[in-house]
Structure 1
Amino acid sequence: MAEHAREVDVLIVGAGPVGLVTAFQLAKFGGVSVAIIDKNEKATSQQAYGRAITLFPRTSELLDQLGLAEKLAQQCFACRETVTYNSKGEEVEGRGWSFMETSMNDTAWDFALVLRQKYQEDVFRGALNEYGVEVEAPFSLLDVVVDETAPALSHKVTAAIKNEKTGQQTLFKSKFLIGCDGGHSSVRRMLNIPFHGTTSADKWVRIDGLVKTNVPKPRTYCSIESPTHGNVLWVGLDRGRTRIGYAFTEKHANSYEVFDEAAAIKEAKAAVKPFDLEFECVDWWTIYSVGQRIAESFFVKDCVFLAGDACHTHSSGAAQGMNTGIHDSVNLAWKLSLVLRGAAHFDLLRTYQAERLPNVQRLIQYDKDISRLMTNRLPENWTGDPDTDVNAILGDIMGQAASFSSGLGIFYDLEESNPLNRAGSQKVVLSPGQRGPDVDLVTPGTYETTRLIQQTRNSAMFHVVVFAGGPALSKEAEFYAAMLESTTLTALRAKNLMEFLTILKSVTPSTWEVLGHDPLGRAYFDDSKQNAYQRYGIDTGSGGVAVLRPDGWIGTVTTLSEDAVVELESYFQGIFQ
């Protein structure tokens, strides 16, 4: 390799949603140099359109905390309605995507945010550009060399990059390399990371366009139970478009010498029978094989990460691909930022795989079952009645996995080796490692309603939420006094690694007159139903303290007392240097 190289802290390969959101976070959090490359300019319609379309509630919450969700919502089709039709065109209750109407509550983002990937990427690129980082394309990765003798946090990765337009080669030296380059990841291949799993013989077709139809409820998340094309997907898209997806069997394949766009349209019309369908235009279509694979490791040589499809692939049956990838990105970026800035222990990076892998494994098993069911076949390990209606079983399985699919039920396990999720002295219904509920709060003075997520934006900072309790607030006074004496917590606040929020149980004209002192951090009031206290399981009399990680999951929950300060010091000492 050549002698001269461009140095950055992080080189990201792949500028899809996962790579873009990762780069955005690192740039937003500050103090880290980042470059992002992609081998495609996405100039053709096949590259520009298609691909992923749906963000479920927890993903929208994560993007909301990063300040990205509102721009997506401006353009999206907000889908709150689902419907399932049987082979006769009759509406059937409790099947298909019906879980979306019953299990996507407890959040302001209580809908499927449907926006084609092209438009999502435009939003992410624009946000990234605001921090002075642009995608460099078309650049392909030629080679990666890791100097394993070099110390941690040195520029131990050397990557050879080729400009596909000019043929010119460039070297990057980086402290970390992140492969966000999809299921055929060059990063994964060059690092010889095994990719375990299988690809089945099943194939699916997806086609997007502007349609005319007599489907009774076309602007929904819809299933059509076709006896010939499996459980057909019908989704209303942004800009009045529609996506139709169906199983492509060997019988269908044998009917065509070449399966082209005209054939995809013909089969789509057959798939949605007994309804009529005409395409006014087609934006994009594809045919692909269904499979499930997981990388053996998401973090190798202490300097190379994989995220998104680069480390796990599955069918689009559950619409989880982009959601899972963005969860990877959000879990990783704040940890990497803190380590690179010298704030957190290096071992914090090992919690990325520890937290994400179990959730990916849950998805893979779920995906194996529904991908078979969507092609009119029972799950591999099915022991029930072989003549069972596959569509009924599909509805049951999707219903059982509803909280996982919405993302609102995704949790991280309590493990001794993971300092982020720690059982505290306060025993509550919500445990560390679970999502911190978004709740309505009331602002002082104006009494306007706000949401906890809006006040705990993700800036790689922990949020310590003090539920002040009452009526005498003696425990809050003890905690406040002990907090002022804590050099550890004071230092974390000064470095913008942690901040306090105080939640009072009822609305008052003055927070000072209730507390007898200025609140720790910003203060808010619970709503009239004291929903915040109830959702976090905090007694309105004794109060409590909840730590929210930068990504919005609960870190620990303590009683409200002077001893809580010692607990918090211990918690943060396990994370920060």
Structure 2
Amino acid sequence: MTKVESQIKNSNTDVLIIGAGPSGLMAATWLARAGVPFRIIDKRSDKIFSGQADGLQSRTLEVFQSFSGSSFDMTGLDSAWKMANHMIELCFWNPDENGNLVRSSRIPDSIPGISRFQQIVIHQGYIERWFDETIKNFSEGQSKVERPYLPISLSIDESKVEDKDAYAVKVLVKNLASEDVSNPEQFNAKVANGLYRQFEGDQERFYSNSIDIEHDPNVNVDDYEIINCKYVLGADGAHSWVRKQLGIDMEGESTDFVWGVLDAVPITDFPDIRHRCAIHSLESGSVMVIPRENDLVRLYIQLKEVPRDPLTTTDVSDNDSKEHAKGRIDRSKITPELILKNAQDIFKPFKFEIEDIDWFTGYQIGQRVSPKFSKFNRVFISGDACHTHSPKAGQGMNVSMMDTFNLGFKLALVCKGLAKLDILETYESERIEVAKELIAFDHKLSRLFSGKPMIPNSQAFQDGVDMDEFHKVFQKGGEFASGTIVDYADSLLIDKSLTHPVDEDGNSFSSIAKKVAVGRRLNSTLIECQADGRPIHIADRILSDGRFRVLVFAGDVNSYPQNLKILEEFDTFLKSDKHFSKKYTPVNALDNSVIDIITIHGSKRHDVEIFDFPEFTRPTDHKHRRDYWRLYTGIDSTYHEGDINAYEYYGIDTKNGAIIVVRPDGYVAKITNFDSNGLHQIDQYFDKFMIPQNSNVLTPKDKLINDRDRFVKPLLAV
């Protein structure tokens, strides 16, 4: 340690998150919910600008819902659903045989039945504020985004990376509170815009201007801090400082297609302005219409010609080794007026004017992905830091959040000493495949969107984009874009051993639960609580709190009494500290605080009684309070929500039953038989990566302590 460093404040934290956009905030939400010490810093001031990402896909909304329970709420989920604009219909407009712009087709914007939630749009500022409130609630006010903090240096002690308890990463940060960092995101415009973040150069100058603490005699050590971390997450955007400290380059390419983005209130006679629209004009380019909250509309508009900066004709940025010799776009020439003029040409013969401009930006289409998402499984990157693409697929913010939704629970399990370091390797292996699929999809979509359309029966326009192919790509892409069909491969955390691919997409199903794909998120359907008859979506019972779920589908115990005898055998098995239920739960912790076992039988609720079932399905705690929310029926006629049949929904036989293991992020990890051998297979699954907790003895629960807040506080290993 240098002389100056020895004078700087030192602190420790389990996880340091650098970057407080949606990806970093999702990670912080996970860690706060799981009770893991963390810090999250951002170089931005408090102000969150309008614009940026605006779409929330089906899977993202499912995840938001998974942080909301009957006793706590992810602040803003209900507000988002109410305030946002709901995307119902997608319209295609193309030139007809005479070159006139006409509506060619309409399709649902989201695939019906793919999720409880459909795509909505609302600007990112709201989402970031809702995350802030949620983190504050889950951490009881102890954690919040620390602004403005600038990371200065990062080092990894390679001798400590295999020690799970070591603070192997050191990050030097500077508090910029005494400096003027107002409006760092804006560029030369009176209207709020995102031009700053879209182009390389400015952020590098921002970092290069940081003080050399070792050689500046006027350095104020009170402005600096050394944060010793077990893990670091770089969620700091497309020009990621963290990624560059790790020496990881982005791989991919850019194009000459330049698009402008404009949020405003349209004044137009175009009939579908409140629908999502994909419009190809004859020769003036293309536009995507995204109706937003209130009366705003977002336009993604192809710009036919944008002036280049003559001083950069030979400049090649480190983020784009294939920069065209034309030079960088002169972003000072990208104005709302330029974007509007291009839009008016595309919309002809319809009139198009705007009022109340809210935000604008410009970007050059390109697709890049990092070949590595981590280093030593101690420093990770997520979101735009490891994959960038055009925004028209509505994936940027969504996939970025899903990166850290994948990583967050893994960090929590490791930081709490419940799982081996090995599970962290699955972050890169799982998410890099999603990123590659996204890049391939966006590459195809953006080029089809940016190309001139092919006009039937026209010799002059036979070499253009086939609109039928464009429609098919868009429709197929809707399923991918929803985020609901992400399929993780066989790994330490995904066991597809009892499955086989049965469809053209290679989804892995089993004969035990024929409609459940191992490696995908468990789609939700209604089950009914045995104790009170309340129907509840299964997704709302297996919320995001860091715990694994073992769903025991016990079949029809009334018609097949032997199934009840199997449950009795399970009771004995699960009480043994040699098996997964107790083996991986700290001594004196709540019995379901690591692995939550839920029984869903297949009999009518009125045909059986709760006390017909063994104790593990209706246990009591240290105060003898019974947990009535471990036992459900999957088949019944409810009073207010009609008939339910989870067995049919999941393809499970009511005689043979099934056991489904679900990861903390809601993805199906394993399916096995409903019998003693099935439980032993689950033992083997957890044995691969979990750490026995027999010697981890917590303080015994005090019967006299008021713990009514136990549903809101962290539930993992407590």
Task: Using structure 1 for the length normalisation, give the TM-score.
Answer: 0.91
Checking the alignment, whether the CA contact within 8 Å between 1:14 and 1:39 is kept in structure 2 is yes
Tell me how far 1:104 sits from its aligned partner: 4.4
1:526-565 matches, within 5 Å, as 526=634, 527-528=636-637, 530-565=644-679
CA distance in 2, matches of 1:5, 1:513: 55
Partner in structure 2 of residue 61 of structure 1: 62
**One-letter amino acid matched to 1:41:** S
Partner in structure 1 of residue 681 of structure 2: 567
Which among 86, 92, 113 is matched to residue 78 of structure 1? 86
1:352-408 per-position Cα deviation (integer Å, ceiling 9, x unaligned): 1111111111111111111111111699xxxxx963544332211122233211112
1:21-58 per-position Cα deviation (integer Å, ceiling 9, x unaligned): 1111101111x211111111253xxx611111111111
Which among 334, 340, 343 is matched to residue 265 of structure 1? 340
Partner in structure 1 of residue 598 of structure 2: 501
CA 1:355/1:483 → structure 2, altered by over 3 Å: closer, same or farther?
farther
1:176-209 per-position Cα deviation (integer Å, ceiling 9, x unaligned): 1100001000000111112111222221111112
Checking the alignment, whether the CA contact within 8 Å between 1:479 and 1:564 is kept in structure 2 is no
Tell me how far 1:499 sits from its aligned partner: 0.7
Q: Secondary structure at the match of 1:224?
A: strand
Checking the alignment, whether the CA contact within 8 Å between 1:444 and 1:525 is kept in structure 2 is yes
Partner in structure 2 of residue 402 of structure 1: 478
CA distance in 2, matches of 1:506, 1:482: 19
CA distance in 1, matches of 2:571, 2:307: 69
Checking the alignment, whether the CA contact within 8 Å between 2:87 and 2:121 is kept in structure 1 is yes
CA 1:241/1:25 → structure 2, altered by over 3 Å: closer, same or farther?
same
Which among 211, 224, 227 is matched to residue 282 of structure 2? 227
The alignment status of 1:146 with 2:170, answered yes or no, reads: no
1:55-204 matches, within 5 Å, as 55-67=56-68, 68=74, 69-87=77-95, 88-93=100-105, 98=107, 100-101=109-110, 103-109=111-117, 111-130=118-137, 131=139, 132-151=142-161, 152-153=163-164, 154-166=166-178, 168-204=223-259
Q: Secondary structure at the match of 2:102?
A: coil
Checking the alignment, whether the CA contact within 8 Å between 1:512 and 1:519 is kept in structure 2 is no
CA distance in 2, matches of 1:228, 1:8: 56
**One-letter amino acid matched to 1:545:** I
1:349-388 matches, within 5 Å, as 349-376=424-451, 387=463
**One-letter amino acid matched to 1:395:** H
Aligned length, in residue pairs: 561
Checking the alignment, whether the CA contact within 8 Å between 1:483 and 1:565 is kept in structure 2 is no
**One-letter amino acid matched to 2:633:** F
Partner in structure 2 of residue 382 of structure 1: none
**One-letter amino acid matched to 1:60:** L
Structure 1 unaligned spans of 5+: 380-384
Partner in structure 2 of residue 489 of structure 1: 580
Q: Secondary structure at the match of 1:401?
A: helix
Partner in structure 2 of residue 450 of structure 1: 536
**One-letter amino acid matched to 2:472:** D
CA distance in 1, matches of 2:84, 2:672: 40
The alignment status of 1:392 with 2:483, answered yes or no, reads: no
Partner in structure 2 of residue 50 of structure 1: 51
Q: Secondary structure at the match of 2:266?
A: strand
CA 1:511/1:39 → structure 2, altered by over 3 Å: closer, same or farther?
farther
Checking the alignment, whether the CA contact within 8 Å between 2:551 and 2:660 is kept in structure 1 is yes
Tell me how far 1:518 sits from its aligned partner: 4.7
**One-letter amino acid matched to 1:500:** I
The alignment status of 1:313 with 2:323, answered yes or no, reads: no
CA distance in 2, matches of 1:230, 1:511: 66
1:152-175 per-position Cα deviation (integer Å, ceiling 9, x unaligned): 331111111122332622221111
Tell me how far 1:566 sits from its aligned partner: 0.6
Checking the alignment, whether the CA contact within 8 Å between 1:99 and 1:402 is kept in structure 2 is no
Tell me how far 1:251 sits from its aligned partner: 6.6
**One-letter amino acid matched to 1:394:** F
Task: Using structure 2 for the length normalisation, give the TM-score.
Answer: 0.74
Tell me how far 1:519 sits from its aligned partner: 6.1
The alignment status of 1:37 with 2:41, answered yes or no, reads: yes
CA distance in 2, matches of 1:324, 1:404: 11
Partner in structure 2 of residue 19 of structure 1: 24
The alignment status of 1:440 with 2:526, answered yes or no, reads: yes
CA 1:419/1:165 → structure 2, altered by over 3 Å: closer, same or farther?
closer
Partner in structure 2 of residue 412 of structure 1: 488
**One-letter amino acid matched to 2:274:** R
CA 1:313/1:42 → structure 2, altered by over 3 Å: closer, same or farther?
farther
Partner in structure 2 of residue 520 of structure 1: 617
Tell me how far 1:480 sits from its aligned partner: 3.8
CA distance in 2, matches of 1:304, 1:229: 46
CA distance in 1, matches of 2:250, 2:415: 28
Tell me how far 1:77 sits from its aligned partner: 1.5
Checking the alignment, whether the CA contact within 8 Å between 1:104 and 1:406 is kept in structure 2 is no
CA distance in 1, matches of 2:519, 2:135: 29
CA distance in 2, matches of 1:374, 1:231: 7
Checking the alignment, whether the CA contact within 8 Å between 2:281 and 2:453 is kept in structure 1 is no
Checking the alignment, whether the CA contact within 8 Å between 2:169 and 2:228 is kept in structure 1 is yes
CA 1:336/1:510 → structure 2, altered by over 3 Å: closer, same or farther?
farther
Q: CA RMSD for the aligned pairs?
A: 2.5
Greater shift, 485-494 or 459-468, is seen at 485-494
Checking the alignment, whether the CA contact within 8 Å between 1:403 and 1:410 is kept in structure 2 is no
Partner in structure 2 of residue 423 of structure 1: 497
Partner in structure 1 of residue 201 of structure 2: none
**One-letter amino acid matched to 1:100:** D
